[in-house]
Structure 1
């Protein structure tokens, strides 16, 4: 029986495939995933803070930073949760050698 993480990995295959392909050596530090989670949580906090502090009736264009920060935060958390060590390493552009 497939777990929730397996189902999410299957659903996010188009996002994860470019990050996980290749056989070049990479450097993965165990703290990389933790730092990614912390950074993406900060991005989500910024997005939520901007959405809450945005005055009502303002130009809809001001929602662009909320969308960008929120999307970066969500995608980063998703990769930190279901991505392999290679995918996390590729986000940090960590190559060995």
Structure 2
């Protein structure tokens, strides 16, 4: 029986596959995932804050920072939730020795 996480991993495979590929040694610290969640929550907070404080009727170009911060926050949270230890380590670019 497939779980929600299995379905989500299948859906996010294009995002996760490049990060989980390879067999080189990596260094994974247990707090890496927690720090990733905190940083991505901060990115999402910035995106929401920018969207709320954006004056109505302003140029649509001002939505670009909202989109960038929001996408970075969502991608990081998906990697933190669905990714393996290798994916999180590769996101931080942590290599062994």
1:49 aligns with 2:49: yes
Q: Give 1:4's aligned residue.
A: 4
- Structure 1 alignment gaps of length 5 or more: none
Aligned length: 97
- Cα shift at 1:31: 0.1
- Cα shift at 1:54: 0.2
Distance 1:52 1:34 in 2: 27
- Cα shift at 1:23: 0.2
1:80 aligns with 2:80: yes
Runs of 4+ in structure 1 displaced over 3 angstroms? none
- Structure 2 alignment gaps of length 5 or more: none
Q: Give 2:35's aligned residue.
A: 35
1:14 aligns with 2:8: no
- Cα shift at 1:52: 0.0
Give the alignment's TM-score, normalised by structure 2.
0.99
Across the aligned residues of Structure 1 and Structure 2, the Cα RMSD in angstroms comes to: 0.3
- Cα shift at 1:62: 0.2
- Cα shift at 1:71: 0.1
